[in-house]
Amino acid sequence: MIATTLPAPDAPADSPTGAAPARVLHFIDGTYTAGTGGRVFENRSPVDGRLVSLVHEASRADVDDAVRAARAALKGPWSRMTVEQRTAILHAVADGITRRFDDFLAAECADTGKPRSLASHIDIPRGAANFKIFADLVKNVATECFEMATPDGRGAINYARRAPRGVIAVISPWNLPLLLMTWKVGPALACGNTVVVKPSEETPTTTALLGEVMNEAGVPPGVFNVVHGFGPDSAGAFLTAHPEVDGITFTGETRTGEAIMKAAAAGVRPVSFELGGKNPALVFADCDMDAAIEGTMRSVFANCGQVCLGTERVYVERPIFEEFVSRLKAGAEALRLGRPEDPETNLGPLISAEHRDKVLSYYRKAVADGATVVTGGGVPDLGPELAGGSWIQPTIWTGLADDSAVMREEIFGPCCHVRPFDTEEEAVALANDTPYGLAAAVWTENVSRAHRVSARIDAGIVWVNSWFLRDLRTPFGGSKASGIGREGGVHGLEFYTELKNVCIKL
């Protein structure tokens, strides 16, 4: 059975009715398969702990089959298509996601527990748009051409061609499963590559469902493949170490990126990484306070804090510090926790009980290190129906030392520490006092300061008077421990293509 049909949300798979759970299968060479491994693992709802599905874990042989299928597809019809033919198919993929919007929305919310209001406005539309954006970009991207003199006076012409890199391993995360997976698959396929995707074991369903759309859109078998499993000693390790993989793109935590980079060293294969962050926000006294509060609320609490670009360190100029903390507290306490389908819900659960244990450990560390808990700090009581979920309180602290674990390490939960500063120089120094360098936000109405401060912050993206405002043509990625390379626009094509110079003697 194709494993992309979920039980209805009001009929839990492990309810007394005895409804059978869905099974999430691999998608290899255009066909759904349970594989050869024989092992399955549970995918449980972070909302109430119910069993959503059983996921088949890939064996080494399954991963090998997927990579071989991708390798064969490189030499098949996919390689013989014109750019126009290939991009037309990718537009059909985007249209297929949109046509099955409700199916993808149900699957994404079942896996993540995030509010439907969030997933319906961001995750699914962007998941579809990524295919059209990169298809259109590839059709119009330019390369260079140079004329040169030669000793015989006849000259020569040099021009560059983009060739696909080959088989790309895509390791995608659980926080924005469809969006961040297609953010990689879209440009990879647009450039003529084939892919093997290993989605997070926490959120396998929308990636599996995409196989149906690929078939319907006319994507040749083997171009898009999906294997499920974990990292070490499972599908992730088998895939990244596979000698027939030509490049690896990964979004996730920095330690996992380090492990993948070691695997990629064999064969000297390139990597593209978007890794962890400990992102700062600098709030100056001349800011638009309403906008700064609204933007910081989103950057701290959106998706229950499970956003790589989210803010965990907030620095506020001292004259407005007390007011800012008070208003941020009021905003956090007004958040509505509940089921994804409830239109009033604007904060979902964490992804899993294991991740909640991690976040709660930081909540305890904050208190042990002397933090003042402005609000939150524990687990909410949402009644017996949601008691099995991975719920946690949105939390704000003040009073921590700059070298405490809570200030140095990525938590990835709905929490932040707010600290005052007195000068612009101090604010920039605090923002840069981190091993990470992914994103930052600056709130000021002073145009000169906005340019001056943003230029000095060590981060791949700096928002001024906004957050999560993205033009997808622009470079996206982090510095320091936050990643390698850039995604987005023509910058993302650099990883997915090999540039070949052709020299024509006239």
Average pLDDT over residues 217-227: 98
Exposure of 160 by Cβ count < 10 A (0-12 exposed, 13-18 middle, 19+ buried)?
Answer: middle
Q: Cβ(410)–Cβ(253) under 8 Å?
A: yes
Q: Cβ(481)–Cβ(274) under 8 Å?
A: no
230: left (phi over 0), alpha (psi -120 to 50) or beta: beta
Q: Structure tokens of 41?
A: 């693992």
496/75 Cα distance (integer angstroms): 17
Give the pLDDT confidence of 194-216 residue by residue, as tens digits.
Answer: 999 999 999 999 999 999 999 99
How would you classify the pairing of strands 436-437 and 439-443?
unpaired
| pLDDT the model gives residue 433 | 98
Percent of the chain past pLDDT 70, that is, above it, reads 96
Other CB atoms within a 10 A radius of the CB of residue 7 amount to 20
Q: What is the DSSP string of 108-153?
A: HHHHH---HHHIIIIIHHHHHHHHHHHHHHHHH----EEEE--TTS
Confidence check: pLDDT of 6 > 90: no
Give the pLDDT confidence of 254-297 residue by residue, as tens digits.
Answer: 999 999 999 999 999 999 999 999 999 999 999 999 999 999 99
Confidence check: pLDDT of 3 > 60: no
Q: Which of 45, 64, 51, 61 is nearest to 23 (CA)?
A: 51
Give the pLDDT confidence of 466-498 residue by residue, as tens digits.
Answer: 999 999 899 999 999 999 999 999 999 999 999
Q: Which residue has the tokens 């000693």?
A: 233
| Domains identified in the chain and CATH numbers | 22-275+482-503 (3.40.605.10), 279-471 (3.40.309.10)
Percent of the chain past pLDDT 90, that is, above it, reads 94
414/378 Cα distance (integer angstroms): 11
SS3 42: strand
Q: Which of 276, 250, 187 is nearest to 460 (CA)?
A: 276
Q: Which of 308, 312, 317, 416 is catalytic?
A: 308
Q: What is the DSSP letter of 332?
A: H
Alpha-carbon separation of residue 476 from 257, 487, 489 (angstroms): 17, 5, 9
Average pLDDT over residues 142-146: 92
Average pLDDT over residues 422-444: 98
**Contact partners, residue 18, CB within 8 Å, separation at least 6:** none
Confidence check: pLDDT of 8 > 50: no
Q: Which of 57, 201, 202, 274 is catalytic?
A: 274
Q: What is the DSSP letter of 477?
A: -
Active site (annotated) includes residue 294: no
| pLDDT the model gives residue 322 | 98
Query: What's the pLDDT band for 14 if we cut at 50, 70, 90?
Result: low
Query: What's the pLDDT band for 20 if we cut at 50, 70, 90?
Result: confident
Give the pLDDT confidence of 90-101 residue by residue, as tens digits.
Answer: 999 999 999 999
Active site (annotated) includes residue 308: yes
User: What does pTM read for this prediction?
Assistant: 0.94
253/438 Cα distance (integer angstroms): 12
